[in-house]
Every structure is written in structure tokens, then in C-alpha cells.
Amino acid sequence: MQTTDQSAAPPLLAVQDLKVYFPRGGAGWSRRPHDVVKAVDGVSFEIARGSTLAVVGESGSGKTTSALAVMRLAPITAGTVRLGDTDLGALEGEELRLARRRLQIVFQDPFSSLNPRMRAGDAVRAPLELMAVGTKAERDTRVAELFTQVGLRPEQQHLFPHQFSGGQRQRINIARALATKPELVVCDEPVSALDVAIRAQILNLLAKLQRELGLTYLFISHDMAVVEHLCDEIAVMYLGQIVERAPRRIFFANPLHPYSVALMSAVPTVRGGRARAAQRIRLSGDPPSPINPPAGCRFAGRCPVAEPACSAEPIPLRELTPGHWVRCRRIDVVDGVAQPVLRLQDA
């Protein structure tokens, strides 16, 4: 995938043809060859500095594995991951450890991602100590600043995780991720384990920190309503591949891939809830196995509008209109406007 504006500044993060394969089975006396789970199979995207790309999809789509590969927490089988001028995939040992200052992650579960025996301030201070950032006095000052930035009181750094609510724990995780002043923050479903009322607070905090600090986010989610609140661009993944990518306004105004339309049909609304529920596109069957994915469109077996040709050969990701990329052979462009083959009212 390429940016449409060649005069734009270089992206902060550039992922090209990323593949993450995991061997499975085949060991022992049977001498069968190993099966290979193709968790991520040729994913490419870019994120401009100071913006947010949301990667969405159902469980098993490969979105979290893609994020972990960017963080070098999952093995990169093939492809490149570049942060600015740095090829993260080529780094090992001390070089990789030093590069981790520039990218940090906020995990999904605010409860299991904090050591219950470590005080909150020590948890936030840990990255500074591991990477030898500043003197002890400077680290203490930095931790107090971070607590204030994320909406906690500096004196709360002496408390243990069980003394905080779920939302407060996630604020601690965010403070820890910001400790080394990273350029890129990966958010792996950071609000999915929180109550609905608390989700909005954390999303507003992330947006505020981005404005104040110039952060760049790779935001992983399965909730379309959440990503609409925060993201600049959306990439929809299905069975290890990106099937659609577009700027937020364009995507929500005109989702094109049938899988994207099905996801959008499930977005809850306050007004018109019954009408939206009546339009819900309910997909039949399960996704194919990532061990032996189909030769053609990977969504064809569940797609309500698939044709026999959809299963015959691989479908490329095409830029149908400026900035709007889709992996579907059935979408046409008429007078400069892409025409979806499946619409909400068709359900």
C-alpha cells in the first residue's frame, strides 16, 4: 500500500508485506510435516506521524498478532517493519532494547498487565530504570509528572494495583507506556475490558495525550464505535489480510468490502436502534482455517454476494478512489464514486 500524496512527510511507521507464520504439529514418531498457521499473511500499511490507524476485525483476524510483530513481541517471518529510518525487524540484542524507547504498548487487560506486588509508581518507573533514562531524582520527577498527565494524583504512586479501579489501572498502564517518551504507542484493545462509562474517559485521555504530546497510535480493536471516536484511518483485517483501508470519514460514509459492511451493520446506535438491528447482516459459517486459507477471496465462503470467480484466484488490494483501498473484485467505480455491492439496506 502506498500513500496517495507523494509530497507528504515520510510515515513514522511503514509495514510492508508483513507475514507472521507459526509452525504447528508434525512432531513425534509420525514424521508428518509441520502445519503452518498463517496468522498474518502479507499485510502492508503506513501511519503518518501524529495520527492514529485503527486495525479492526473479529477474533482470529490477525490484528493483535500484527501489532505484536510491530513491537517485536511476535516473530517476523517475512516483510519489513520500519520506524522512521530504523528497520525494526533487523535489530537484535542491545540495539533492539534501545529502540524500544521509541515504541511502547498498552495491553488489553488492566488487571493482569500490572504486577500485584509492585507499587504503581514503581511500575511506571520500571521502563526508565531498565533503559537507564535520567538520574534517580529525574526519574522521580518524571513519574510524578506522568501520574498528573494521566489524571491520577502523584501521591497515588505509593499504592498497589488492587487499590485502584479498572480505569485507574489502565491510566497507570498508559503512564508506563509514556515513560520513555515514545514516538509510537500500540494500543491493543485498551478499553474492551472496561465498563462503558469508563471507556469514554480513557478514549478521551488518549486523544488528549495525542494532541499534547504529538503521539502516533496503532489502535487495535473489534469495536467500530470505539475506533470512530479516535482514529484517522481504518484498516479492516480478515483471516490475516487487510481487506479494506480508508480515512475515517470516507470509510464510515461508504464502507465497500462486504465484510466491512457486515461489521458496520453491527455498530449499536442510540437512536434508531430497532431499525439498525433489523438491518443487521448476519454472516453464516466460520472463517476458513489459517493453516490452509482459500486460494481466492478469503471471505468468499461467508460472503452474501460472492460469485464463483471470487474463489478462483487471489484478489489484490486495489486503490479504487484516492486513499480508499479494497480487496474485492465486485466493486466498480462510477463517475469517480466507488459502488458497494452490498449495502446495509440490502440486509
Contact 230, 219 (CB under 8 A): yes
What is the per-residue pLDDT for 272? 45
- DSSP state letters, 232-244: SEEEEEETTEEEE
Exposure on the CB side of residue 13, measured as CA atoms within 13 A: 29
User: CA gyration radius for the chain?
Assistant: 21
CB atoms within 10 A of CB 165: 12
* Domain 13-346: homologous superfamily in CATH: P-loop containing nucleotide triphosphate hydrolases (3.40.50.300)
What three-state secondary structure class fits 190?
Answer: coil
pLDDT by position in tens, the chain (length 347) = 444 444 468 999 999 999 999 987 655 555 566 789 999 999 999 999 999 999 999 888 999 999 999 999 999 999 999 999 999 999 999 999 999 999 999 998 888 999 999 999 999 999 999 988 889 999 999 999 999 999 999 999 999 999 999 999 999 999 999 999 999 999 999 998 888 889 999 999 999 999 999 999 999 998 888 888 889 999 999 999 999 999 999 999 899 999 998 888 877 654 444 455 556 677 777 888 999 899 999 999 899 888 999 998 899 999 999 999 999 998 888 878 888 777 755 44
What is the per-residue pLDDT for 323? 93
Instruction: Quote the CA–CA distance of 267 and 277 in Å, as a whole number.
Output: 9
The gap from C-alpha 325 to its chain's centroid, in whole angstroms, comes to 17
- Give the pTM: 0.89
Instruction: Quote the CA–CA distance of 146 and 36 in Å, as a whole number.
Output: 43
Contact 13, 70 (CB under 8 A): yes
User: Domain map of the chain by residue range?
Assistant: 13-346
Exposure on the CB side of residue 147, measured as CA atoms within 13 A: 20
β-pairing verdict for 216-221 and 233-238: unpaired
